[in-house]
Structure 1
């Protein structure tokens, strides 16, 4: 089965494929290499997504708010935070306004790992889009961001 994934794609199939298939196929190709980059640091792509959100936060979010912002359901986010916490990359602190609620906070070690994985993932993305002109790669990203932001339908399950 792995050989089939690496086989050349038939241009006739691609030209007739729906947007869903095209996006999934591109995401799979990019995602498997990005996952390998994250795994070199003992985390998953989802873990990197969580660390990146926590590293860039100007304010603290509860676990529930973080999950909603990232498109991760409660069970998936909790399991990921458990892994990141065991690895010493995040801690969960009580919310000062509601002690029943936890707020995930990235540790210094988590910031280091996040920055190293981000660097690897930028290399992976640059390699993936190497066949595009820089303006095309920028346009692709901008269009995907617009599609995601413009779609106000509720998400279904986790984004990763």
Structure 2
């Protein structure tokens, strides 16, 4: 016998883990928020000639005036060293980064953002600011202050 189908009940029922701001899984909410902002930022990066947000972050860290090795940049950004190596290879081939060797250890490479890299970084940061402002346009200044403060505390918390 085939069971009767209830046509009045929606096929997809709400799920407390993802369908309500106060009962949704917290890590899922953060993941979704990150995805929205990252997708918008990645598109802005592509529009100025970079691959994605990571290119912008690498250019920013490599060009901030501090001398950092590739390993230190990877640690700063939370990137795998192999992933960072591929990003730096690409940025170097585009003329946005140059690598020099550490005078005390020739095996250690120190990436630095070039003048051309600083120019594309500046364009990417303007594009980022525009997409973030658009994405968060419904937030008040106080909302943004609280959000940044809480996210900073979470991001820098010790595990």
Aligned counterpart in structure 2 of residue 46 of structure 1, from 47, 54, 69: 54
Q: CA deviation at 1:41?
A: 2.1
Instruction: Note the 1:6-45 alignment, pairs <5 A.
Output: 13-15=19-21, 16-43=23-50, 44-45=52-53
Aligned counterpart in structure 1 of residue 86 of structure 2, from 79, 94, 98: 79
**Contact 1:14–1:22 (8 Å) recurs in 2:** no
Normalising by structure 1, what TM-score?
Answer: 0.83
Normalising by structure 2, what TM-score?
Answer: 0.84
Runs of 5+ in structure 2 lacking a partner? 1-13
Runs of 5+ in structure 1 lacking a partner? 1-9, 154-160
After TM superposition, what 4+ stretches of structure 1 lie above 6 angstroms from structure 2?
Answer: none
**Contact 1:91–1:104 (8 Å) recurs in 2:** yes
Q: How many residues align?
A: 142
Which structure has the larger Rg over C-alpha atoms? 2
In proportion to residue count, which structure has more helix? Answer: 1
Q: Residue 121 of structure 2 corresponds to which residue in structure 1?
A: 114
The whole-number CA distance in structure 2 between the counterparts of 1:86 and 1:140 is: 38
